[in-house]
């Protein structure tokens, strides 16, 4: 990852909200996303999401900031990562309307389900855009996620992974934002391929 470009994107996220990027926060976030236990939830994931944002016609100010913080705290063994990440963002932004919107956008990624707010829908779509990645990147991401869950044995991981995959494939629509609807077909093909592969491995 080009650290200078990422830092510039971080600064512009705050400028877009009429704020100055806080000193030291980018470096703290970059350190978190570079933690040894991470393989998928890294700066690569952040950079890919920023790339998707460039293709969206209108992005409300809270989304880029929320994107930077949404996986700041990440431990696959815990269920409160999003809450802790949102708390960090709130500590940076203070008790402001923007902080409340950033909080809602981050928490929307927890369930990855339908969201009523357009900003929350966009956050979810960016977060799961990897499902529609070209096959080599999709397979790489799947392997990275398995690495993060290395503490699970094969049987437990397969059961967990199949549940997640089927939760997405069973939806009427995987993506909620208009700009992401074109990704539906490729996402479903990726999901079907991996689901079938996981089923074969279980036998």
Per-residue model confidence as pLDDT tens digits over 40-97:
999 999 999 999 999 999 999 999 999 999 999 999 999 999 999 999 999 999 999 9
For 73, residues 6+ apart whose C-beta sits below 8 A from its C-beta are 32, 81, 84, 85, 88
Once rounded to an integer, what is the mean pLDDT over residues 147-152? 98
Average pLDDT over residues 2-28: 96
Quick one: pLDDT at residue 198? 83
Classify residue 139 by its DSSP letter: H
Q: Convert the pLDDT of each residue in 109-126 to its tens digit.
A: 987 666 778 999 999 999
Reported as half-sphere exposure (CB side, CA atoms, 13 A), residue 151 has a value of 7
Among 2-6, 28-32, 37-41, 84-88, the minimum mean pLDDT is found in 2-6
Q: What DSSP assignment string belongs to 57-116?
A: S---THHHHHHHHTTSS--TT-S-HHHHHHHHHHHHH-SSHHHHHHHHHHHHHHH----S
Residue 125 · residue 104 · CB < 8 Å: no
At 13 the pLDDT is 97
CA distances from 153 to 79, 127, 159, 174 (A): 19, 26, 10, 29
pLDDT at 27 (0 to 100):
98
More confident: 143 or 202: 143
Amino acid 129: pLDDT: 97
Q: What is the mean pLDDT of residues 149-164?
A: 96
pLDDT in tens, 170-200: 999 999 999 999 999 999 999 999 999 988 7
Which pLDDT score is estimated for 31? 98
pLDDT band at 201 (very low <50, low <70, confident <90, very high): low
The pTM score is 0.95
pLDDT at 203 exceeding the cut of 60: no
């Amino acid at each position: 990852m080009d650290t200078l470009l990422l830092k510039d994107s971080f600064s512009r996220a705050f400028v877009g909200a009429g704020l100055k990027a806080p000193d030291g926060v980018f470096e703290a976030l970059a350190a978190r996303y570079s933690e040894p236990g991470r393989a998928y939830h890294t700066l690569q994931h952040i950079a890919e999401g920023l790339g998707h944002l460039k293709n969206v016609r209108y992005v409300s100010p809270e989304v880029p900031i929320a994107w930077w913080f949404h996986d700041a705290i990440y431990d696959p063994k815990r269920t409160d990562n999003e809450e802790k990440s949102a708390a960090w963002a709130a500590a940076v932004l203070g008790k402001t309307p923007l902080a409340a919107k950033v909080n809602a956008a981050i928490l929307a990624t927890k369930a990855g389900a339908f969201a009523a707010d357009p900003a929350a829908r966009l956050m979810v779509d960016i977060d799961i855009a990897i499902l529609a990645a070209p096959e080599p990147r999709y397979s790489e991401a799947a392997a990275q996620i398995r690495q993060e869950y290395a503490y699970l044995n094969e049987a437990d991981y397969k059961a967990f992974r199949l549940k997640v995959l089927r939760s997405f494939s069973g939806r009427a629509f995987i993506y909620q934002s208009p700009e992401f609807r074109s990704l539906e077909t490729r996402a479903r093909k990726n999901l079907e391929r991996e689901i079938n592969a996981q089923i074969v491995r279980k036998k």
